[in-house]
């Protein structure tokens, strides 16, 4: 372990020390602003460290970790979400007089888990990061005792993710049993492909990742947990967890020599197609916005799987760029819409916001509504937004690999998706006189918008548009 290696994992170290310090801080003084500020500070430090490292040549830190530029970009994305979530958790928690410093602690743990995941190059580190992430998340999902569905969501998430982890671990055990190595690169060997045990191991390992990415047929937990979890936690689930796990998936996949293997490719295509279709179809008539976003995330992860289907090592660079661009677009759009969700509380403080509650938002909260529209258009992949460029990346990749079936499914899926995205957008534009149809509890009232919230929302909306029109801003960053 030399200094270069230590520096390379500086963000993770900062996060780890941050957690310890936070514990001490809590012991010293309990204050919601203090802990929030400290968490924010830690994340900013980690972000600065990450940006400072970028770009980086591949640095192997022990056998467990491998730091490369792509993981740093993923880490940047994760930290950006972490920062936003920290800020907006503050707004979310503002209604409680109680000091919820554990919440921030858990948040830091999740981020640490994610940070470890993105640089891991070994099944053991994957396992550690993975469980750090999910255990902390379970805690967060069930954090609020009094919430309507917190308990149910937490239980579902705990038991299902534990089951899935067990499968994944079994898979790792199989791989280890056949190859004798737990490192990604070492554990891959074309000779083993004929070995059923090895193949089964890969499948089971992928299962664990697919579960977290909520890909069909492992998606069942997603809508329920999305809906039941507190909104900042859903935000976390939708962004940090997805980005970290997908990064590790790509990393694992591209380190293999077997990504061209036919039966595995078939499985991936199958999962991708199913996810695109099922996610979009099930989102169609959802009224709960968080639930709807849960379903739509299923579809988005399905689109992303196209990245994995490459046939030669030449495409790896482009595939990484495409994946990181799409992930960034997805992440920004998700963050944006969840931010709006957080600031648009309802009277009874429930965070179960339905589409009707946003009725006519455009006319009395135009900027908030614009943010929602931008985010939804980005999800739908309409030009002017970053989502379009993301989709463009995917399509370029798919066209080059001639994945016509997947392209056809993607087009169909996008068509279906437009229906529910547009439905929300039209509700935002609904005229006031139609309000008699709205339920009695009325639309969002009491929208409290601190300046920071407004500025953040504006920045994110602006970023989506600017990168949508001038994608080079970000694409250069990727290809540096």
Partner 1 sequence: MILSWLPFYPLISFFILIIFGKRLSWLMATIVSVGAVTLSALSSFIVIQQLAQIDNHIITVQLWQWFSLGTAQVNFTLYLDGLSAVMISVVTGIGALIHLYAAGYMKEDENFSRFMAYMNLFIVAMLLLVLGDNLVLLYLGWEGVGLCSFLLIGFWYQDPANAMAAKKAFIVTRIGDTAMAIALFMLFSTLGDLNIANITELAQQQWLVGDDKAYWIALLLLGGAVGKSAQLPLQTWLPDAMAGPTPVSALIHAATMVTAGVYLIARMHGIFLLSPEVMSYVAWIGGLTLLLAGFAALAQTDIKRVLAYSTMSQIGYMMLALGAGAWSEGVFHLMTHAFFKALLFLTAGSIILALHHQQNLFKMGGLARKLPIETSLFAIGLIALIALPGTSGFYSKEAIIDSLWSSSTAGAALWWCAILGAFLTSVYSCRLFFLAFLGESRSEHQVKDDFSAIMRWPLFLLALLALLGGLFANMVEINLSNVFVDSVSSAQASSHSLVTESSPHWLHYVAIVTPFIGIVFSWFYFADYRQTSHSKTNHEVQYTANNFSDFFLNGLGFDALYQRLIVNPYCFLAKLNRRDIFDQIIMSSRWYVDLWREALVASQTGSLRWYAATLGVAVVFLLGVVLL
Partner 2 sequence: MIALPFEHILILATTLFLIGFVGVISRKNTLFILMSLEVMLNAVGIAFIGAGSVWQQADGQVMFILILTLAAAEVALGLALLIRLQRKFQSLDIDILNKLRG
Partner 3 sequence: MIIIFIIIALLLAGAIAWFFDNEKNNFARWFSLISLASLLLFFIYDTLFVAQTFTTFTPLVRFAWIKTFNIEFALALDNLSIILVILTLFLALICVLVSWHEIKTKIGFYYFNLLAAIAGIIGVFTAIDMFLFFFFWEIMLLPMTAIIAIWGHEQRHFAAIKFFIFTQISSLIMLIAIIAMAYLYQQQFGQLSFYYHDWQKLTLDSSMSFYLMLGFFIAFAVKLPSVPFHSWLPDAHTQAPTAGSVLLAGVLLKTGAYGLIRFVILLFPQASQEFAPVAITLGVVSVLYGAKMAFAQQDFKRLVAYSSISHMGFVMLALFAFNAVAYQGAVLTMVAHGLSSAAMFSMAGMIYSRIHTRSLAQMGGFWQSAPRMGGFALAFAAAAFGLPGLANFVGEFLSLAGSFSAHPIAVMFAALGLIGSAIYGMYLFQNSFQGPIKHTIADFSKRETLVAASLLFLLVFIGLFPNTVLQKIRIEQKISVQKASEQKISQQFVVQNINKLVMATPATIGRKDNE
- Binding residues for partner 2, rule: CB under 8 A, are 123-124, 127-128, 131, 135, 138-139, 142, 145, 148-149, 151-156, 158-159, 162-163, 165-166, 169-170, 172-174, 176-177, 180, 182, 197, 223-224, 227-228
Separation of alpha carbons 32 and 197, rounded Å? 51
Q: Is 448 exposed, middle or buried (0-12, 13-18, 19+ CB in 10 A)?
A: exposed
Q: How far is the CB of 462 from partner 1 (least distance, A)?
A: 35
> Which residue is associated with the tokens 């069942």?
220
Separation of alpha carbons 110 and 113, rounded Å? 5
Number of residues located near partner 1, criterion CB under 8 A:
32
Selection from partner 2, partner 3, partner 1, none that 116 binds (CB < 5 to 8 A by kind) is: none
Q: Where are the beta strands (DSSP E) in 294-335?
A: none
> Which residue is associated with the tokens 């743990």?
109
Selection from partner 1, partner 3, partner 2, none that 264 binds (CB < 5 to 8 A by kind) is: partner 1
Separation of alpha carbons 352 and 111, rounded Å? 25
Selection from partner 2, partner 3, partner 1, none that 88 binds (CB < 5 to 8 A by kind) is: none
What one-character-per-residue DSSP string does 70-130 give?
HHHHHHHHHHHHHHHHHHHHHHHHTT--S--HHHHHHHHHHHHHHHHHHHB-BHHHHHHHH
Selection from partner 1, partner 3, partner 2, none that 471 binds (CB < 5 to 8 A by kind) is: partner 3
Stretch that binds partner 3, among 119-127, 255-263, 289-297, 421-429 (CB under 8 A): 421-429
Kindly state whether residue 281 participates in binding partner 3, applying the rule CB under 8 A. no
- Choose which of 284, 408, 452, 459 interacts with partner 1 (CB under 8 A): 284
Separation of alpha carbons 153 and 227, rounded Å? 8
293: which 2 tokens? 């976003």
Selection from partner 2, partner 3, partner 1, none that 463 binds (CB < 5 to 8 A by kind) is: none
- Choose which of 88, 103, 218, 254 interacts with partner 1 (CB under 8 A): 218
Kindly state whether residue 55 participates in binding partner 3, applying the rule CB under 8 A. no
> Which residue is associated with the tokens 């299902």?
160
Q: Which residues of 452-469 are buried (b: 16+ CB within 10 A; e: fewer)?
A: ebeebbeebbebbbebbe
Whether the CB-CB separation of 64 and 9 falls below 8 Å is answered with no
Residues that bind partner 1 (CB under 8 A): 155-156, 159-160, 163-164, 167, 196, 199-200, 203-204, 207, 211, 217-218, 220-221, 223-224, 263-264, 266-267, 270, 277-278, 281-282, 284-285, 416
Residues that bind partner 3 (CB under 8 A): 363, 377, 382-384, 388, 392, 395-396, 399-400, 407, 410-412, 414-415, 418-419, 422-423, 425-426, 429, 431, 470-472, 475-476, 479
């Amino acid at each position: 372990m030399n200094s270069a290696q230590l520096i390379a994992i500086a963000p993770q170290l900062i996060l780890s020390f941050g957690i310890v310090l936070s514990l001490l801080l809590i012991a010293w003084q309990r204050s919601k602003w203090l802990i929030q500020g400290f968490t924010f500070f830690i994340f900013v430090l980690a972000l600065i460290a990450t940006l400072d490292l970028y770009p980086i040549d591949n640095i192997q830190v022990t056998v467990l970790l491998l730091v490369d530029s792509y993981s740093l970009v993923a880490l940047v994305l994760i930290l950006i979400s972490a920062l936003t979530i920290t800020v907006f958790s503050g707004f979310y928690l503002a209604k409680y007089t109680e000091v919820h410093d554990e919440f921030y602690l858990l948040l830091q743990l999740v981020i640490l888990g994610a940070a470890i995941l993105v640089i891991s190059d070994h099944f053991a580190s994957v396992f550690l990061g993975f469980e750090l992430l999910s255990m902390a998340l379970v805690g967060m999902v069930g954090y609020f005792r009094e919430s309507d569905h917190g308990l149910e969501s937490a239980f579902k998430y705990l038991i299902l993710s534990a089951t899935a982890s067990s499968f994944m671990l079994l898979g790792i055990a199989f791989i280890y049993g056949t190859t004798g190595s737990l490192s990604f690169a070492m554990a891959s060997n074309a000779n083993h492909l004929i070995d059923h045990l090895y193949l089964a191991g890969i499948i089971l390992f992928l299962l664990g990742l697919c579960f977290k990415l909520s890909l069909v047929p492992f998606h069942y937990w997603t809508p329920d947990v999305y809906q039941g979890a507190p909104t900042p936690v859903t935000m976390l689930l939708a962004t940090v967890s997805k980005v970290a796990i997908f990064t590790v998936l790509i990393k694992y996949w591209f380190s293999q020599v077997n990504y061209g293997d036919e039966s595995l490719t078939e499985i991936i295509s199958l999962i991708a197609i199913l996810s695109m279709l099922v996610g979009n179809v099930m989102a169609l008539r959802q009224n709960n916005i968080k639930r709807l976003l849960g379903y739509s995330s299923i579809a988005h992860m399905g689109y992303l799987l196209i990245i994995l289907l490459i046939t030669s090592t030449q495409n790896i660079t482009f595939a990484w760029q495409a994946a990181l661009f799409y992930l960034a677009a997805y992440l920004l759009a998700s963050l944006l819409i969840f931010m709006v969700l957080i600031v648009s509380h309802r009277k009874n403080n429930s965070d179960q916001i339905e589409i009707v509650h946003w009725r006519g938002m455009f006319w009395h909260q135009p900027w908030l509504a614009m943010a929602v529209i931008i985010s939804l258009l980005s999800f739908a992949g309409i030009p002017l937004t970053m989502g379009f460029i993301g989709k463009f990346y995917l399509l370029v990749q798919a066209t080059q690999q001639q994945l016509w079936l997947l392209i056809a499914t993607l087009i169909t899926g996008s068509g279906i998706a437009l229906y529910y995205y547009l439905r929300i957008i039209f509700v935002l534009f609904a005229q006031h006189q139609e309000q008699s149809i709205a339920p009695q509890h009325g639309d969002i009232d009491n929208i409290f918008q601190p300046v920071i919230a407004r500025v953040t929302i504006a920045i994110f909306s602006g970023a989506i548009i600017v990168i949508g029109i001038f994608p080079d801003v970000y694409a250069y960053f990727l290809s540096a």
